[in-house]
Amino acid sequence: MSDALRVLTAEQKQQFDKEGYLIVKGLFAPSDLSEIVENFDTMSHETIPGYFEPNLQPGVTDPLQRYPRVMHPHRYNETAMKYMLHQPVMEVLADLYGEEAYAAQSMFYYKPPGSRGQALHQDNFYLQVEPGNCIAAWTAVDDAYEENGGLLVVPKTHAHEISCPDEADTTESFTTHYVKPPKDGVVMPVIMEKGDVLFFNGNLIHGSYRNKTKDQFRRAFICHYANSSASRINVHYNPLYKADGTKVELEGNPDGGPCGLEMGEFTYH
């Protein structure tokens, strides 16, 4: 690929390189979002062992037991595969990487009213893409803002190394990992409209709010990608996929990573 950008402006590329993240407005059309919503609304009433295991019994008090994350739906669902390889997303990623992107993971989050968020963390702690880094494409299926559990980012922390996490406050966080931002770091809310996509570097410290609303879901379709020059990734993410759907196998980084922890699958946003 040449140095010329295909779909981003020079200012957008500079924003990503400087701050570690970029919002691209309206990358998913209303018809795309309708197809995604219908697909995962249907899936929300099913149990798919190892991928989506809701508690369908009446009286469940934790909303994330009834609506847990959907993990790797592209492995068994054509709609998820289609939108993980959404051409506008893949084109943006090619500009951000300066080379072809490989899709490593898909997820869907319902995040119903009352759901806990996730403490600040870094994605490449889990994916272990090297050399290079993962990039997340976080698609707002609903408007996302502070009250309904939108995202938080700490700009410029993509320039920091991967940190070994501390214990999170599990009354507010769905997960137990917490990465403390640097002293000069500013934790900033990200406000998004449905159809917008937030792209961010795998070292960027980020997390999400609790959904404090009474009646609003904050649904999101989230995928992670690796640069095509990467040779290794955490063992859980093979196979990866090229934009045309061709499978790619990278060398598997074993569990453990820089902190000697059993990391397993990527955790909840």
Contact of 21 with 31, CB cutoff 8 Å: no
pLDDT band at 9 (very low <50, low <70, confident <90, very high): very high
250-261 tens-digit pLDDT: 999 875 566 765
- 134-140 and 220-227 strand pairing: antiparallel
122-176 tens-digit pLDDT: 999 999 999 999 999 999 999 999 999 999 999 999 999 999 999 999 999 989 9
29-75 tens-digit pLDDT: 999 999 999 999 999 999 999 999 999 999 999 999 999 999 999 99
- What does each C-alpha distance from 82 to 39, 94, 98, 228, 244 come to in angstroms? 12, 18, 23, 19, 10
Kindly state the average pLDDT of the residues 9-27: 98
Contact of 133 with 232, CB cutoff 8 Å: no
Query: Given a cut of 60, is residue 1 above it in pLDDT?
Result: no
DSSP classification of residue 162 = P
Q: Does domain 10-47+63-259 fall into CATH 2.60.120.620?
A: yes
Residue 178 CA to its chain's centroid (Å): 17
For the chain, give the percent of residues with pLDDT over 70.
Answer: 93
174-197 tens-digit pLDDT: 899 999 999 999 999 999 999 999
Q: Domain coordinates of the chain in residue numbers?
A: 10-47+63-259
Give SS3 for 233.
strand
* Distance separating alpha carbons of residues 156 and 16, to the nearest angstrom: 9
* Distance separating alpha carbons of residues 121 and 145, to the nearest angstrom: 19
